[in-house]
Structure 1
Amino acid sequence: MTRRFATRITRRSALGAGLFVGTSLLIKACGTTSSSTAGSSGGGEILATTFGGAWEEGHRTYLAEEFGQAAGIEVTIVSEPGLEAVSKVIAAQPNPPYDVILIPEGPMFMAEEEGVLAAFPQDMSENYGEIQPQYYNEGLAPMVASQVLGIAYNPERISTPPTSLSDFWNPEYEGRVGIPALESGLGTTFFVELARLEGGDENDVEAAFQRIKQLLPNIGAIAPNPSSLATLLQQGEIDMAPHWFDYISGIKAKGATVDWVAPTDKVASSSSSLQIVKNAQADLETAVSYVDRALSLEVQTAMSKPPYNFLPTHAEAPLPEELAAKLGSSADLKDRLFIPNWQIINQNRAEWIERFDREVQA
């Protein structure tokens, strides 16, 4: 990652920005002190990021609040997209604004290349050994949850549910399909999955570009992010789109006229991890304990249930019931998951975005 920001970002300004937009949560446990560091014996503080929506709600309830009460520390959560959190940490080193950041694979590998993430001490983690092998990151903390890509659609306007991503090209869906832009993780995951279905991979995406250009007559909207794409679906401006299971199941539970199906082939996934920032002000034991709680069976089981419905990474945590019904057993899921290689993607993504904007979105 080569882009640098001239503005100096401090812990106070980062927290203040989060409070200004109403997306941060300050949780004070009994006996909290104002010390800038803390151990598991009590006192101190930790400042961590999460994503908005279900992520923030779940982390607030099952991670930050209970961890803060048990450790006797002050936990502050700021809602921050992964790439923005990484950019702020890079800009502010050696005095990062956060102690722990929640980031997807792409930003995680960028941050690792920039040298702003601390190595994760496995021997200090009670739950490290309980994580499924595909979710480990060499030298870093493992993934805490995963999302799976499928097809979101309006069941009132599409009577026969789609079964494959290739259904987007059906002539009857002219002007009714929405897709995400490549700037979003959802968009890039969909793009790489499309390349795989066309016989390519992360190093060979030409067929994916050609296929998307063939889809243009059916595209009714290109959304910048998952939230915007879901809004278009709810408003009836599009009738189907690639989307994450957890997001669609969450808004469906709140009354949205949407449903989600898994492709009959493999399902592409995207995972996120909580990583400790190098030069964090919270002491290492506190930061590791916070991440370790996110890896625990208790938290991951809670986050796999409605309204969150995240795919857990802990080997003993259950699949979300609705997802299990759509996909089958966890053993079947392991065989069906397609995990994109984000280290390769990061090398090519800027070029893909520029070309997508020029040839598809223009």
Structure 2
Amino acid sequence: MTRPSVAIVVTGSELVRGERTDLNGPFFAQEALRLGLQPARITIVGDDPGDLEAALREGLEREVCLVSGGLGPTHDDRTIELVARVAGRPLVVDAGLELEIEAVSRRFAERMRRDYADFSAGVRKQATLPAGALSLGIAGTAPGVVLATGSCVVVVLPGPPRELQELWPRALVAPPVQEVLARTTRPGRRVARLYGVSESLVAKSLADAGGDGDGVEVTICARDFEIHVDIVVEPGAEARADALEAALLEPISTFLFGRDERSIEELVLDACRTRGLTLGSAESCTGGLVAKRLTDAAGSSDVFRGGIVAYANEVKQGLLGVPGPLLEEHGAVSPEVASAMAHGARERLEVDVAISVTGVAGPGGGTPAKPVGLVHLHAVGPMGEIPFHMELPGGRDVIRARSAVAALHLLRRLL
């Protein structure tokens, strides 16, 4: 089956300048694949009208064009007018949409004690759509829009990822989008998450298993110091996928930690939750990154009680109870101090399970005995304890980030 082709156009000069990272393009692409569509390209383009118009003209050559950004009230928000120009449609004011945006803008004007007249021109601009377009309502004051041109279905959503994702479900139920989705079949998708194995070894395992094809597509991606394997299965290719999956994973099964989309922090929290265990952390070189990742997960408060960032030796002693003589004899970056930090966190935070991290993140501070990149970790709980150390390559940010990931995987091993 030939899947409907999708072009993705992400607008914003701040993205082109590298001031912000694009989150909308990957979101659109993942959603398209999930729905049985085929992403053809992601184009990131600035606010220059000529560049944006050229990107939209290419995008509208596909069956679906997903666009984000440029829907605000200011002069450089040109996405809608350029979509209309490329589609050959006049611009018209959507009266219902104008009232919707006006209500939000009036409330904002009142809170700011400003005259609504200051906002009226922007409100009308945001409510002006290509003739025949469907409004999806607003997120903030920016609308979502669907336009069927006859050869392409264009979906235009706001640039802020939260607003885009808020309006995305409304786009999916719009009749023009439903008509496209009716022409395709959602493929099956299987995932495997691995840690501690190289991307090249996973690629070799895939090659030894016979490689993908015949209705099975395998993607191997190094992400966040893990290896993520995605297996997309066309209808009718399930038996081929079963055989390939088994052959691929058998030689690397010891590195496998997940078969679903849950992150390592979610897996750790779920394991604690299942066992009724509480969790805490003690961090030095990572500066709270382990605690941040754990608390980024929704619902973490029922498991994670807190963390102590003990950078200075005096804090290690005062807050974690690490003995001064131990620090003097072995130094802050040592297995002995990592163990004392973990036990101290467990006691002081009154938790069942604790993880500690101490290391030399660089760029300075290394010695021949303790070079930059040396990191000691310790996980302890009712089931026992696991010490671990590693020497990591890379700069300060990489060492810190990899140490936090390693700490989470050490907790997973303990649990």
In the superposition, the TM-score normalised over structure 2's length comes to: 0.21
In the superposition, the TM-score normalised over structure 1's length comes to: 0.23
Higher relative contact order (CA 8 A, sep 6+): 1
User: Which structure features the higher share of strand residues?
Assistant: 2
Larger radius of gyration: 2
